[in-house]
Structure 1
Amino acid sequence: MHNPIGEKRWPDIDCADGLDPLKSARERGQRLLEAELPSLPADEAIVRLNALHDALIVRVLALAENEVARSGLGAPPVPYAYMLYGSGGRSEQTMHSDQDSGLVYADANDEAEEERNRSYFRRLAETAVDYLIEIGYPPCEGNVIASNPAWCMSLRDWSDRIAGWFAEPSWENVRYLLIAADGRAVWGDVGLADRLRGRFFGDLLGHPVIERRMLENTLRHKVLVGVFGQLLTEKYGDNAGGLDIKYGAYIPMVNAFRLLAVRAGIRETSTLGRIDALHAAGALSEEEAEEARTAFLLFLKLRLFTSVALEDGRLVGTGKLPASRLTKEIVPALKTALKTGNKIQRKVQKELQYRLGGR
């Protein structure tokens, strides 16, 4: 299958013939990157880490295809694309991100062919997800994962499902639409993935009620900065004195720029790419774009220093920045970045409520 992530740079990953060497390659790659983190610019650190994740996932897909072939189901019967959502789709994963994924495959000519395709790709998806769990990627808690039949479908069925989300703008369906907006093909037929994303953007234009629901969802998480510019840190528990950098800084900016980009028809999935595209389209001034980029890069780098927890034998990121990381050197820059995030949230709320005729 086609590998859309481009040049491969990890021979130990590319040549891994099983899960144990692949898991070891991941651990080595991440240890090397962790050692370099203090001296790396944030954007370079994120690019290198996400390229490492992509390479691991691509190798898992190749191993999964081989395993399914050995089981007697052969090669993929039609083209398909393996999709990443969440931080993977945005190329913003941390050291310990979970799996958010989906699979889309080409339409069949008849029901018998469709049943064959469905059986093959469900088996492939289940194998790939199990393999990724084995090398340290826990499954998405919300079950947005390729092994869930609701996220592993033909292009026709995917199109029908997206149409259903638009037709019934419940909170859950709008959440699914926002997840779909971050979808990125990491392996397979990129053109198939583009057609799927085209259906999403084509349907959005005629549904102002969806935009209103998206706005409500987008503003759910507030930036953790007080009216006097103080950090709103955790008061109790293991992380007392620390900051929820994921939901109090990173996610609010992800949500804001996703909504602005979707509203403008921008198909870029990374937040930094969306900021650049919005600036190019005239939706952000030079000053706004630069402030946003600087703030978001800081949030991305701080996410790499958040604490982890052991769950079912696997390390899982908590999204919480320990109090020990809130040094006198970092706090002023963090306060400035949070104020920028707060300003962006207000901008989104004001602009979209004006367009939608709200208060």
Structure 2
Amino acid sequence: MSDPEAVQLLKSIGSAVDESALRSLRDHVNDRMEAIRSDLPVEQFYNELNEAYDAIIKRAISLAEAHLARMGMGSPPVPYAYLLFGSGGRQEQTLSSDQDSGLVYADIESLEQAEAGRRYFTELSKQIVIQLELLGFPRCEGNVLSDNPSWGMPLSQWREQINGWFEEPAWEAVRYLLIVADGRCVYGEYALSEQLKDIFFNDVRNHPIITTRMLENTMRHKVLLGVFGQLLKEQYGEDAGSLDLKYGAYIPMVNAVRLMAILQGVRETKTIGRIQALLAAGVISSEEAESITNAFRLFLRLRLMTTEKHENGLYTNNGMLAVGKLSKEWIEELKSGLKVGKKLQRRVFKHTSGKFR
């Protein structure tokens, strides 16, 4: 960040003395970013917001480590990496994104020390998730959280789990693998997260059947554009008449680009970064890259117009956008962007299965 106010804010976050001070800073970040939202190019907005959130998460982890030290549990017994998945892993968090996290730590050979290490990292993960919830980040509804034993373990167990998901690629296992593909180290030993990626991409190469399974998951969410070019609105409930921007525009494009990137061995997790990597690899043309990127930027911008809620101290959002918020020009741009998304889905389907239904 070059903005002096933003730089000072990051410094304040990095030196926050406790959870209360950090909570005030998180609220300040959200208020500030909301105020300047319309003034910044969309990528700059997301970069600044996610840089601030990264700083908040790092400080929360540091405070959690200090809490364990005060409890008499000492320091981390071995190196570890704290991972963000979902929009956090892709550095595409909005003002109300929830927690999607994991933890990997170095193997400990001694059985006694390994049990002590397990207790330490179990408690650390618990404290981190609690602290982030106190800072307004809701828990992941799917329980993809570091305090879930399936998402916080030593590297060797991660290897066994990932290998198992590839060997038995049921729907849920494939969903977990796609979550892992978005993983990014936000704190700790970066090399451990890279070792996880080594395991993942080696298994992708050794299990070609996984392409079909990942395609099924990738195509689950369709763009909200009907056969006659009309926008598909919610039919029932309190959101009737609204557009599901998250699952009808943003997620379909995220999923399609991610699958193409996985098949090319691309480790970048940002969606726009993945598009650039696919262009560099010759998988897509410059014209395709430009149209996909422009459509994705539009979806990122419109995501910021969905209804934000602040309930029980948590920032939440269901990803719905009231059509009344959109001008005729916005609606036409959205339709054009959705056509790009639909074309991209068709391309991914053809590339992986040879036909499109």
Q: Which bracket does the TM-score occupy, shorter chain normalised?
A: over 0.9
Structure 1 residue 105 corresponds to structure 2 residue 108: no
Rounded to whole Å, the distance in 2 between the matches of 1:131 and 1:314 is 12
2:4 matched to which residue of 1?
Answer: none
- The Cα offsets for residues 192-231 of structure 1, whole Å up to 9 and x where unpaired, read as 1101111000111121221111000000000001222221
Rounded to whole Å, the distance in 2 between the matches of 1:130 and 1:25 is 17
Letter in 1 for 2:51: A
8 Å contact 1:242–1:321 — kept in the other structure? yes
Return 5+ residue gaps in structure 1 as ranges.
1-6
Letter in 2 for 1:47: N
Structure 1 residue 248 corresponds to structure 2 residue 267: no
1:308 matched to which residue of 2?
Answer: 308
SS in 2 for 1:73: coil
Letter in 2 for 1:192: L
Structure 1 residue 20 corresponds to structure 2 residue 43: no
Letter in 2 for 1:255: N
- The Cα offsets for residues 138-181 of structure 1, whole Å up to 9 and x where unpaired, read as 11111110011111100011001101101111101011000000
Query: How big is the shift at 1:10?
Result: 1.3
Query: How big is the shift at 1:358?
Result: 9.7
SS in 2 for 1:81: strand
Structure 1 residue 180 corresponds to structure 2 residue 180: yes
8 Å contact 2:65–2:124 — kept in the other structure? yes
Rounded to whole Å, the distance in 2 between the matches of 1:281 and 1:63 is 42
SS in 2 for 1:205: helix
Rounded to whole Å, the distance in 2 between the matches of 1:154 and 1:244 is 38
Q: Aligned ranges for residues 202-241 of structure 1 at < 5 Å?
A: 202-241=202-241
Return 5+ residue gaps in structure 2 as ranges.
1-6
8 Å contact 2:241–2:323 — kept in the other structure? yes
Rounded to whole Å, the distance in 2 between the matches of 1:216 and 1:236 is 27
2:32 matched to which residue of 1?
Answer: 32
1:131 matched to which residue of 2?
Answer: 131
SS in 2 for 1:37: helix
Rounded to whole Å, the distance in 2 between the matches of 1:340 and 1:22 is 41
Letter in 2 for 1:281: A
Structure 1 residue 58 corresponds to structure 2 residue 53: no
2:3 matched to which residue of 1?
Answer: none
Query: How big is the shift at 1:274?
Result: 0.5
Rounded to whole Å, the distance in 1 between the matches of 2:8 and 2:190 is 17
TM, length-normalised to structure 2: 0.95
Letter in 2 for 1:288: E
8 Å contact 1:221–1:252 — kept in the other structure? yes
Letter in 2 for 1:59: R
Query: How big is the shift at 1:12?
Result: 2.1
TM, length-normalised to structure 1: 0.95
Rounded to whole Å, the distance in 2 between the matches of 1:339 and 1:280 is 24
Name which of structure 1's ranges 278-287 and 33-42 shifts more when overlaid on structure 2: 33-42
Query: How big is the shift at 1:16?
Result: 1.0
Rounded to whole Å, the distance in 1 between the matches of 2:237 and 2:107 is 51
2:71 matched to which residue of 1?
Answer: 71
Rounded to whole Å, the distance in 1 between the matches of 2:171 and 2:208 is 15
8 Å contact 2:103–2:146 — kept in the other structure? yes
